[in-house]
Amino acid sequence: MGVFSKIKEMIRRSRTPKLEEGNQQNGENSKRLQETYTIQLSSNQSLMITAIQKGERMQYSNGEITDLMIAKVIKYKNGEHISSLNQESVAFEIPSGTPIDDIVLNKISQYYMYERNMPDNNKNCMYLGKLSHDPYDLGNNNKSAYVEKYINEKIAPQIEREKQEQIQSQLRSYRETQERDARKQREFVAGMQEEYKEYVQQQNEIKNQRIKNPYLNQIGEEYVSKDGMRYKDYEGINILNGDFLRLRKMNKVGKDINTGTYVYTGYVSTTANENSAEILSKDITPEGIPICFTTDRKIEEIMQSEDPRDKVTLLSLLSEKSLDYENNNGYLNYIGKIDRYNRIDRNLAETSEIIQSTVTRVQQNFYKQRIQETQKQM
């Protein structure tokens, strides 16, 4: 295969472009090629040649006339992003009227790869010299000092200005994009804050209505768990904040026959969402804080009472602000007593000795059971 055939193989294009009238350069008509060329340098590198412009015509003392051409080149690895910021400008001469064909493109590539490694080349516009249209003429030193001086003094500064303008334009575009995105983000956040404020206000109104109209209802029927004990479940309103109270595994565990005071245990939890899920099984320890309290009346009597204050008092007892509903401390917490006059006393020492003894015993048994369950899980 000959040199000319190899050149054709290296250049991927479909036709030889024609020159057409383009932009003004240095006060004279310039001509721009409407093509982008890609030359394969190696198995993983390519060179893009684009924006080829015809500049001044040069005349030598021997009568030779050349066209000074300006082009952009970008060397890149195959498959990577090609950025205009990575492009370099090159200037070269060709005999006047010479078309930009395979021979010229290949020489641009060869001369560029040679000159880019030279320490004295102008980074703003690299002068490649005169490119012969002879495919066998591969000389690299065919340069005119006058043309190089012209390029360095006239063309290179202009290209540098254009490059800086491009950089500034991209910076402005970047800043405008950043400012636009920041403005949209501020508007979005402000909108979200307003929506959240409205949501909180609505929820507070709903909770205030619950506090004004609290309820306490039994959920389902009494049931027997695997421990053989009988339990009941209740749901009501936390009258401190309007959340929902869940009272699970309520169980009467003792009574002082002298005072008629009953001892109850159970698990209490709170949720802001009435429809929040919980485990369905009745045979496992429910979510919530273990509690113990006393009352001079059975829970059934309080539930059947027509006086709404009776349920409100029980809800007040269960809505103990000192309870950390989110963190189970592992103990059976005594939360107080309700007497027949709907008075709440949270001091266990104010109850009878029998009640104190019963509560202490129940708390100790609960703690032992928790230790045994923990040991089984280890």
What contacts 24+ positions apart, CB below 8 Å, involve 321-325? 321/240, 323/268, 323/289, 323/291, 324/289, 325/268, 325/269, 325/270, 325/288, 325/289
| 3 has a pLDDT exceeding 70 | no
CA–CA dist 153, 147 (Å, integer): 10
Categorize the per-residue pLDDT at 15 as very low, low, confident or very high, splitting at 50, 70 and 90. very low
Q: Quick one: average pLDDT of 342-359?
A: 93
Beta-carbon contacts of residue 301 (< 8 Å; ≥ 6 apart): none
pLDDT > 90 in the chain, percent: 44
Round the average pLDDT of the chain to a whole number and report it: 83
Q: What integer is the mean pLDDT of 256-281?
A: 88
**pLDDT tens string 159-183:** 888 888 888 988 899 999 999 999 9
**Encoding tokens for residue 5?**
């055939």
Answer whether residue 211 shows pLDDT above 50.
yes
Q: Which helix (H) or strand (E) holds 357?
A: helix 353-377
pLDDT at res. 18: 33
Residue 326 has pLDDT above 70, yes or no: no
Region 101-126: mean pLDDT is 85
More confident residue, 133 or 322: 133
Is the pLDDT confidence value at 259 over 50? yes
User: Is 8 a residue whose pLDDT tops 50?
Assistant: no
pTM: 0.53
* CA 46/CA 75 separation, integer angstroms: 6
pLDDT, tens digit (0-9, with 9 covering 90-100), for 17-68: 333 333 333 333 344 455 788 888 888 888 888 889 888 999 898 989 999 9
